[in-house]
Structure 1
Amino acid sequence: MLYATLKLLHVLSIIVWIGGMAFAHLCLRPAAQALDAPLRLRLMHDTLQRFFRLVSVAVLVTLASGVWMIGRVAKETVQAGLPFNMPLGWTVMVVLGVLMMAIFGHIRFALFKRLSRAVTAGEGTAGAAALASIRTWVAINLVLGVLVVAATVLLV
């Protein structure tokens, strides 16, 4: 039951993270283009601030539940006297997931800080540049997230 609960939390966290990126990148951003630049920057800043709080929790839940589930399977396998060989799909999931977490850290703690400073100072050009960088890295993370899901479905 604990394994199933952790797996559920793991999957729900991924849904929040990848689904949120898809929504922001494919729906919110294009719709916000119709707004004047200062209003668009404020909207995106405030939306991303809320979203990044959710993603921070999702990242922690994903990491903790993933490590626990892999550790549990490895422990049970070794206790049964068998060698633990992590499946290819899990390996891909771990490598890409950790890369996604690193990219999120860069977005959240470097690029979003630039956006926040620009919005606070009313520097539209700097804010637009920070938002463009965030958009690029979110797109990369979205592609990586889709690859993780594909690897999980196709290789596990």
Structure 2
Amino acid sequence: MIYASLKLIHVLSIVLWIGGMFFAHAFLRPAVQSLEPPVRIRLMHDVLKRFFTTVQVVVLLVLFSGLWMIGRVAKETVQAGLPFNMPLGWTVMATLGILMIVVFGHIRFALFKRLSRAVSASDWPAGGAALGSIRIWVGVNLILGVATIAATLLLG
């Protein structure tokens, strides 16, 4: 029951993270393009602040639940007298997941900080540039997230 509960938390956290990136990238950003820069940049800042705060929690949930599930399977396998060989799909998932966390860290603690400074200073060109950088890196993380899901489902 614990394993199933942690797997549910793991999957729902990933759905929230990747779904949120897709929503922001494919729907929110294009919809606000017609707004004046001060309004658009403030709105995106406020939305991203909320989303990134949630993703910080989600990242911890994904990391904890994933490590716990791998550790539990490894422990049970070794206790049964068998060698533990992590499946390729799990290895790819873990590797890409850690890369996604690193990319998120860059977005949250470097690029979003630039955006926050620009909004505080009402420097709309700098805010637009920061949003452009965030968009690129969110796109990278979105691709990594989809690749992670695909590898997990296709490689087992």
Q: TM class, shorter-chain normalised? A: over 0.9
Q: Report how many aligned residue pairs link the two structures.
A: 156
1:50-91 residue CA offsets vs partner (Å, 9 max, x unmatched):
000110111000000000000000000011111100000000
Q: Could you state the TM-score of these two structures normalised by the residue count of structure 1?
A: 0.99
User: Does 2:31 correspond to 1:25?
Assistant: no
Using the aligned pairs only, state the percent identity.
71
Correspondence 1:86-105 to 2 at 5 A: 86-105=86-105
- The amino acid that maps onto 2:66 is G
- The amino acid that maps onto 2:114 is R
Tell me the CA shift for residue 44 of structure 1: 0.3
Inter-partner Cα distance in structure 1 for 2:40 and 2:86: 45
Query: Which residue of 2 is the match for residue 47 of structure 1?
Result: 47
After superposition, the CA RMSD in angstroms is 0.4
1:102-154 residue CA offsets vs partner (Å, 9 max, x unmatched):
00000000000000000010001111111000000000000000000101111
- The amino acid that maps onto 2:87 is P
Query: Which residue of 2 is the match for residue 118 of structure 1?
Result: 118
Structure 2: gaps spanning 5 or more residues: none
Q: Could you state the TM-score of these two structures normalised by the residue count of structure 2?
A: 0.99
Structure 1 consecutive aligned stretches of length 4 or more whose deviation exceeds 4 Å: none
Tell me the CA shift for residue 101 of structure 1: 0.1
